[in-house]
Each structure stands twice: as structure tokens, then as C-alpha cells.
A = this chain, B = another copy of it.
Amino acid sequence: MVDEAAEGMRTGAMTLTDVARAAGVGESTASRVLRGHGSFSEKTRESVLSAARSLGYVPNRIAGTLASTGSKLVGIVIPSLSNIVFPDVLRGANTVLVGAGFQPVVAVTDYDQGREESLIESLLSWRPAGMMVAGLEHTERTGAMLRQARIRVAELLDTDGEGIDIVVGFSNREAGRTSGRHLVSRGYRQIGYVGHDLSRDLRAAKRFAGFRSALEEAGLKVAAQEIIPASSSIEAGRDGLARLLERGTNLDAVYFSNDDMAIGGYFHCLARGIAIPGQMAIFGFNGLDVARSAPQPLSTILTPRVAVGENGARLVCSEGPPARIDLGFELIEGATT
């Protein structure tokens, strides 16, 4: 179907000039038709369109972007792809972005601020229309680059701190505090913590800090804690709880750094026949599907991950002054507390 009659010999691909020539019109006319801008007659429209179709013309947005002002790319920087949380944010962002004619370009930092810096530098060289980044903490140079770029920058998933331009998320500190208060109000007093590497996951660290402050309000403190020096996972949660219990500390509840970890703890209890919440209460964070569908729905904090992506994307695509949206979170009183 597609005509292979090679005209231009530059990069092999058909160019606007080829289409214009084939349609017997000028380049600008062809350009207008193809983009639906400006005015042109119906006859012209048809001949350009049919020429484009028969030549198998694919517009070159690289050239288009260079010629016009801004690009239609939006950089998205997330720490990980291993935890469904970030794909969720990405999904929300993607929907809105594509709907608005933008193309997401993703980069994964692996929770490393140095890598974040170089990835952002690299993304900026594509002259994106905007940038979406997870979290508020960056290296000084990252912050400088983002500010210098004079583009929309959205920082996601955290509101505990100052942002560069747009901030969309919720307070991790408050989430931790709410979690702690919930456990206290349920009457638990010997409360432990099982978490993953906090030095890299700063938002988890904020939750833990908020959590501790809630216990302190009640005159309590974390009875025992176990930090797995790795990223969060179900297995890490399972091992973490196992190790915590091996120590013999008497615990009636455990707060986990997130749902993955908590589900691991839940599985450990199921496997060991530890009654939940009778012998051991479990609390997580995120409100994942797996937590909601478990035989006993997990008590956790539901976070608006997709909405964070959507709102961030919407603001990045729009004009306006710096904005700050706190989407909050929801305490899920499941069956594990």
C-alpha cells in the first residue's frame, strides 16, 4: 500500500518537502494542512493528505520542536519501578499527559539523589515542556537546574517541605502520625516497627518520624524496630517481622514502612499461626490492592497515587502561579488492628 518511491535521500525518510512537492503545493501549505492550522481549501487539503498517505510520511517532531518554541515532552522522574506505587503515579500522569498531547519521558533514579541529578540534567537537554519529580528533596544542583530551566516543575507525593513550583501530594509526616494515633487509640501499647532502608526513602523516614511523635504524644515509644537494609518488598517485611519476633520483645502491634512490608508481616503471622489482630496487630501504608483483598483487609493509609499523577500532570500542562495541592490520605480501618 505504501509507496516506496524514494525522493529525498537524506535520512531515507519522507520529508514535508517531499509531500509538498508530490501534492503540488508549497511547504508551508502542506505544513498547515497537516497540522490543521491556518486556512487552506478543501481541494488542497485532500491532495496534501493523500500525498502524505501514499508516501508514508511521518512528521519529524524533532525538527518541528526545534523550529517552534516548546516541545511536547514531559520528563517524569521516579525512584523505582519495582514498587507498584510509582507505576500508579506514572499511570495517572500518563493519562492526562497523552490526553493533552504530551509525551512522557521517564527516568528511574533508584532512590539515588546523585543519579537523579544526572538523569534530570539529561532530561532537560530534551527541552521538555515540564518535569515531574518524586519528592521534595534534591541535591542543590538539581534544584538549581530545575529552577533555571524555566519550565513547569511538579514535585509529587510529599507536602512536608518547600517546593520549587508545583507540589502535589500529601503529608507523609501526618500519615505516620495518623497511623500511630490509630494504633494507640485501639489500645496497643507495645508497638514495634519494621521498615526498609530509610536513608534513601525519605518519605518513609518522614512517616516513621510522624509515627514516633504520635506515640510520644501518648507517652509511648517504639518498643522495638527492625530495619531491613534493602528496598521494601513482601519478603523483606516477612523477614523483618520474623527477626523482630525472634528477639523476644513482647509486641502487640507492628507498624510497617509500607503495605508491601506489612503484607509480608501478615503472611508471616498466617504462616506461624499468630492470631491477627488478637496476638499481633499490623498496620501498613499505601492501600494497595493486595492489602484490600486479603482475607483480613489490612489496616493502612490509602494514598491517592493515581490522582497525584493526574493532578501533577494537569498543572504541569497549564499556565499559572506556583501551586500546592494536598490530596490527603485516608485511614483504612481494616481487620488487622
Taken together as a complex, chains A and B put the C-alpha atoms of A105 and B18 apart, in Å, by 28
Task: Give the nearest-CB partner of A80 in chain B.
Answer: B91
From the candidates B106, B121, B267, name the one contacting A104 in the complex (CB within 8 A): B106
A12 and B103 form a contact (CB under 8 A): no
Known interface pairs A81-B87, A126-B61; A66-B69 also in contact (CB < 8 Å): no
Q: A289 near B235 (CB under 8 angstroms)?
A: yes
Q: Is A279 an interface residue (CB 8 A)?
A: no
By size class, the interface of chain A is 35 or more
Q: How far is the CB of A314 from chain B (nearest CB, A)?
A: 17
CA distance A150 to B106 in the complex (A): 24
CB <8 Å contact, A267 and B295 = yes
Q: Given A2-B148, A121-B58, are A103 and B103 neighbors across the interface (CB < 8 Å)?
A: no
A105 touches B105 (CB 8 A): yes
A125 lies within 8 A of B81 (CB): no
Question: In the complex, are the beta carbons of B61 and A125 less than 8 A apart?
Answer: yes
The yes or no answer to A334 lying at the interface (CB within 8 A) is no
Residues of chain B contacted by A5 (CB below 8 angstroms): none
Q: A10-32 interface mask toward B, CB cutoff 8 Å, 1 = contact, 0 = none?
A: 01110000000000000000000
Judged by a CB distance under 8 angstroms, whether A59 is at the interface is yes
Are A290 and B263 also in contact (CB < 8 A) when A87-B87, A125-B58 are? yes
Closest chain-B Cβ to A319's Cβ sits at a distance in Å of: 16
CA distance A127 to B103 in the complex (A): 13
Q: Which of A59-93 contact B (CB under 8 A)?
A: 59-63, 65-66, 69, 71, 73, 81-82, 84, 86-88, 90-91
A139 within 8 A of B: no
> Chain B: which residue is nearest A84 at the CB level?
B84
B234 touches A289 (CB 8 A): yes
Name the B residues within 8 Å of A98 (CB-CB). 107-108, 119
Measured between alpha carbons, how far is A267 from B263 in the docked complex, in Å? 13
Considering the complex, which residues of chain A in the window 38-60 have a beta carbon less than 8 Å from any beta carbon of chain B?
Answer: 56, 58-60
Contact in complex: A81, B71 (CB < 8 Å): no
Complex interface: chain B residues within 8 A of A86 (CB)? 87
**Closest chain B residue to A71, Cβ basis:** B62
B94 and A108 contacting across the interface, CB-CB below 8 Å:
yes
Tell me which residues across on chain B come within 8 A of A73, comparing CB atoms.
Answer: 105
Kindly state the separation between the CA atoms of A290 and B288 in the bound complex, as whole angstroms.
Answer: 12
Contacts A81-B94, A84-B84, A127-B62; is A235 near B293 (CB within 8 Å)? yes
Contacts of A293 in B (CB 8 A): 234-235, 238, 263-264, 267
Question: Among residues 142 to 181 in chain A, which have CB atoms less than 8 Å away from a CB atom of chain B?
Answer: 144-145, 148-150
A-B contact pairs, 27 of them (CB 8 A): A12-B150, A56-B148, A58-B145, A58-B149, A59-B125, A60-B66, A60-B127, A61-B125, A62-B62, A62-B126, A73-B105, A82-B88, A82-B91, A84-B87, A86-B87, A94-B106, A98-B108, A98-B119, A103-B107, A103-B123, A103-B126, A104-B106, A105-B105, A235-B292, A235-B293, A263-B290, A264-B293
Which 7 pairs between the two chains have the least Cβ-Cβ distance? A271-B295, A81-B91, A234-B293, A270-B295, A61-B125, A81-B87, A87-B87
